[in-house]
Chains A and B, each alone.
Chain A
Amino acid sequence: MKNHPTSPLKIIVISLAVIGIIALALGGYLTPVSRIVLKPLINAQTWLATRYQAIQSYILEPADVSTLRQRNTDLEAEIARLQVEIIELQQQVNETQVLSTLVDYARSRPENKYIAAAVIGRDPSPFFHYVIINRGSDDGLRSGMPAVTQQGLVGQIDSVTAGAARVQLINDPASLINVVLQQTTTDAVLVGSITGELLLEMIPQEVLVQPGELVVTSGLGGNYPPNLVIGQVSTIRRRDYDLFQNASVQSAVSFTQLEIVLVIVNFLPVDITPLIPTAEVP
């Protein structure tokens, strides 16, 4: 092999050619040329890269899917847990609101002592309007103590066990309460009914009762403390040939929504039976 010596002229020509090409490229004169040359190259690379990515994702995706599925399951479990927590917290907020209102009510009547109790059941027979509360004689509850909510009178404890008590609601058909109409200061008797409606009986005919009049306990008979709110007169039934007029009362308490009640523990009914005159046998 022969070694051709590199002449300076050759170097200069090559350098000038390179500089010329660079100058043409910088001046933009080679763009059409490079487009023609590079386009097939770019197309080929694009095709190759797309296929490669497809193959790569085909190989790697199952692992990603399983990871994502696992993650999704974890997140769904987390969402379910948080939703349960939200419901629990909402229940606590509701209970706190009810208790807060009950505390306000208790504070507004400092003469009474109260024990709060949750309603845990109802009488299995629909003929009896009774509820069962989760406090009993161990907590100081006794038969005859009145139960109230912040809205008004709920009923009276009928029987007590160590840990629970049964409360007769004021809308029980056998319930009889001496009440007073606050505006007209008229005494009347409040009776319950099977429909849950409260009825006022024994209102004298001459009294002008108006709808909306407040009905409170009178304390007569000693079964309930006076001035416990019961509700408002809604409709009046007055017939000229009757001895008394009747009225229905819209209760202040929603008996179907009872959750927590306050039992007035410093009140016990007075037994007035010995004071009731009996017919003497000759």
Chain B
Amino acid sequence: MLAILLAFPLFLILVVLQSAIVSATPLLQGTADLILLTIVAWTLQEQVQVHWQWTIIGCIVLGFISKSPLVIILFAYLAVTAIVAIARKKLWKVPYLAMWAMTLIGTVIVQVITLLGRWLEGADIPFLQAFNLILLPSLMLNLLLAAPVLALVHDLANWLYPQEMEV
């Protein structure tokens, strides 16, 4: 319950940081996505059980600020959470490698779904331009930030869910 309550202020702070600083410092047209990185890192934590709730809270908070429709945001981030949850259970146990791989997949999913949403809205965005100017730079920035975000989220998860020592 504490973890769910903590998600609201945490995502509020992250969205404010994202909107005020991260989105104002683009690489070409791409920007890092702190919300995505936090959701991926949180879902990768083995002891965490409330990752779905965190994703939904993150999406709702993001929906307040972003022009992107809430349905699109929810669809994109829940899809990423589902993939990360599967990867956590069935794939490897190397946290940083998993984080980078999931960041790569998550960025592509979120950006492609957002692009589809804009196409449905009627915006004329050539795919190649979106790929070169937004997707690739965003991916690079996300991969750069993945490791520090994972470290911070790992500490937070350990604080919220203290692991028992095996004797």
Contacts and interface: CB of A to CB of B under 8 A. Distances in A.
Contact of A127 (B35, B118, B126): B118
Contacts of B18: 124
Interface stretch (B22-30, B82-90, B147-155): B22-30
The A interface, classified by DSSP as helix, strand, loop or mixed, is loop
A194 B66 contact: no
A195 B68 contact: no
Contact of A128 (B15, B20, B35, B67): B67
Interface in B75-109: none
Contacts of B138: 126
B166 interface: no
Contacts of B122: 174
B164 interface: no
A123 B29 contact: no
Nearest to A172: B123
Interface string A79-103: 0000000000000000000000000
Contact of B30 (A124, A126, A166): A126
Contact of B65 (A123, A174, A194): A123
Interface residues of A, number: 23
Contacts of A168: 67
A125 B29 contact: no
User: What's the dominant secondary structure at chain B's contact region?
Assistant: helix
Interface string A109-129: 000000000001111111110
Interface string A129-155: 010100000000000000000000000
Interface in B6-23: 15-16, 18-20, 22-23
Nearest to B27: A126
Interface string B21-54: 0111010011101010000000000000000000
B19 A173 contact: no
A125 B19 contact: no
B159 to A, nearest CB: 26
A123 B115 CA distance: 14
A223 to B, nearest CB: 16
Interface in B91-145: 111, 114-115, 118, 121-126, 129-130, 133-134, 138
Contacts of B121: 174
A128 B22 CA distance: 14
Given A126-B134, A127-B114, A174-B123, A195 B20 contact: no
Contact of B29 (A158, A166, A174, A195): A195
Contacts of A128: 66-68, 118
A120, A125, A126: most-surrounded residue (chain B CB, <10 A): A125
Nearest to B23: A122
B19 to A, nearest CB: 3
A191 B29 contact: no
Given A123-B23, A130-B67, A194-B129, 7 more contacts: A121-B20, A121-B24, A125-B67, A125-B68, A126-B29, A127-B68, A194-B133
11 contacts: A120-B20, A121-B24, A123-B23, A124-B35, A124-B66, A125-B114, A126-B30, A128-B118, A158-B67, A193-B124, A195-B133
Interface of B: 15-16, 18-20, 22-24, 26, 29-31, 33, 35, 62, 65-68, 111, 114-115, 118, 121-126, 129-130, 133-134, 138
Interface of A: 120-128, 130, 132, 158-159, 166, 168, 172-174, 191, 193-196
